[in-house]
Structure 1
């Protein structure tokens, strides 16, 4: 099998999409499956000759993201030379559009993945009036795909409601050899003056769509005696970072971007993982926290609610409700035995979420699409 993948985001960008695709590429290399990966150009050396970078520039509203300017003729020639069995389009923007155009011109079967609740993001950037246009565009974009992969049943339900077809679940896994409950406290000594009684942690983009106003409200209003015993770590970077730092809360540390064993140590050393986001199609960081044996207080929204077993591996709160988050945090901090029980269940759940099983299922779905007669694929597209 030969696979071509088009994406508008990839390492060193840090988000759920780029990290999932990195793991997929690692799996393809392990299985000795030929691939071409078309990505926005980033500084630095490329980890593989199979990666094809194209011209890109930082997006002025969000410098961590890049706008690509693909040369379709060159990419088509490269694609034609590689002659893939299938094209996987991971994002619906410039790179994805180029992949869609070239794959159709070359009559190559196309699948895609839907990772992000774009219409919800519009609300957070004061652009809700674009929602109707966004859905119209997304329906047009995904209409030509033989299969569209989504990370959760909640996302599948939403896309079905919007009129999408041929939707399949492509869940997410976690590397439990990398993310585990063992800790090295020396790694964290730079984040606080003395080890707090309770360490509460958020990991993710520091951006409006992550509902960090709710997190900060929770931090400000946490009652005594817990407030004086708690230290917060906010791990990540993004457009809200400077604004949140200016609040200068004495018990909040902003770590910036952290990865690898240091990130695993942060998860494992945390008493609770706090995740207020309501826009997640899955929530990779939630699964990583569970793998480290850290119970999660999160929002009953999106894909996260399919990961957390409420009352067993964490507590789910109503969306954008800091009062409920405070109650959940206080109830757990008051009951260390419950935290220990949840930690054990969290690790047990994560051990069943294997990336290898998930990627092999994806490869089987690729094969199903490839083996389907092309005339039948065209017919399905006409019906959708």
Structure 2
């Protein structure tokens, strides 16, 4: 199969879309599927013959994102030369739009994937006035797609209520070669000079849409008899980092951004993973924590609630109820028998979530779309 991927973010970016596409393209190479990726040019460009970078510059409102100016004529010639069987558009911005337009003009089967809960983002950044025009654009943008792949049943239900069609679930997997429970916890304790009994961790972007204000509350509002026994490891970066540091203490360590190989030992050494974000369409890091044998206290919202099995692999809390997160932490840490069962259940569940299975599902979906397009062209 020959696949052309259009995306406004790709490796070495550190968001969920880029990481997922990076894993997918690695799988395509492994399985001898030919592909090209049209993506923004980065300062640290990944060196590969498959990537066709487009001119880009930092987005004024958020420097971690880049706005691209795709060269449509060059990309059209590239597609004529490459002759893709299918185009996959992963983002709804300038490069994604270019992919949709060229797929229509060149009569190439078109699919897309939906990764971001823009509704939540607008709320957190006080841009709710843009809600209606954004949804109109998103519905228009995805209308030509013969399949739209979403990461969870939550997102599928969310989009089904709107003018989105041909939805299918493309779940995420976990790399159990990296994320597993067999790391030595003493290594992390020595590295970060942790003397407290319990380690609680958070991994992700430090930003308002991730509900990190709940972390600030938890730092100081847990009862003293348990709070004094807890050391927090906060992994990640973002605009809320300085505010979190203002409320920190010697029992809170901010590691900054880390590679997955460095994150996995932290998750395995953690007694609990606390993830209050309600804006996830899936929540890859939750699955990674479970694979490390770490129960998760998470928000009962978005894609996260489709991963955590209440009382079986973790505890779900109302996204706005800070006290519920505090209560959940206490209830799990104070019940050793339940805690051990949560650990065992988490490992068993996560080990079944293989990336290869998810990628095979996607490729089978591609095959179906290609066959449908061939039938339609014969009857045209």
Shorter-chain TM-score bucket reads over 0.9
1:172–1:377 CA distance, 2 compared to 1 (3 A): farther
Aligned twin of 1:369: 369
Aligned twin of 1:151: 151
In terms of mean alpha carbon deviation, does 334-343 or 284-293 score higher? Answer: 334-343
Helix, strand or coil for the counterpart of 2:178?
coil
Aligned twin of 2:226: 226
Q: Deviations over 1:279-309 (max 9, x none)?
A: 1110000000000000000011111111111
Distance 1:217 1:59 in 2: 32
Q: Deviations over 1:216-246 (max 9, x none)?
A: 1122211121111101111111122222223
Aligned twin of 1:245: 245
Shift of 1:110: 0.5
Aligned twin of 1:266: 266
Aligned twin of 1:306: 306
Question: What are the residue-to-residue correspondences of 1:1-384 with 2, within 5 Å?
Answer: 1-185=1-185, 187-189=187-189, 192-373=192-373, 376=376
Helix, strand or coil for the counterpart of 2:193?
coil
Helix, strand or coil for the counterpart of 1:81?
helix
Shift of 1:182: 1.3
Stretches of structure 1 lacking an aligned partner (at least 5 in a row): 380-384
Helix, strand or coil for the counterpart of 1:55?
strand
Helix, strand or coil for the counterpart of 1:316?
strand
In terms of mean alpha carbon deviation, does 159-168 or 245-254 score higher? Answer: 245-254
Distance 1:377 1:267 in 2: 51
Distance 2:203 2:273 in 1: 8
On the 8 A contact 2:41/2:55 being kept in 1, the answer is yes
Shift of 1:195: 2.9
On the 8 A contact 1:191/1:253 being kept in 2, the answer is no
On the 8 A contact 1:273/1:297 being kept in 2, the answer is yes
TM-score for both structures, normalised by structure 1: 0.95
On the 8 A contact 1:91/1:114 being kept in 2, the answer is yes
Shift of 1:373: 3.1
On the 8 A contact 1:64/1:238 being kept in 2, the answer is no
Distance 1:26 1:59 in 2: 28
Aligned twin of 1:382: none
Helix, strand or coil for the counterpart of 1:372?
helix
Shift of 1:186: 5.6
Distance 1:25 1:63 in 2: 26
Distance 1:194 1:351 in 2: 29
Shift of 1:139: 0.1
Number of equivalences: 379
Distance 2:115 2:194 in 1: 39
Distance 1:92 1:114 in 2: 9
On the 8 A contact 1:151/1:172 being kept in 2, the answer is yes
In terms of mean alpha carbon deviation, does 22-31 or 234-243 score higher? Answer: 234-243
Distance 1:194 1:168 in 2: 45
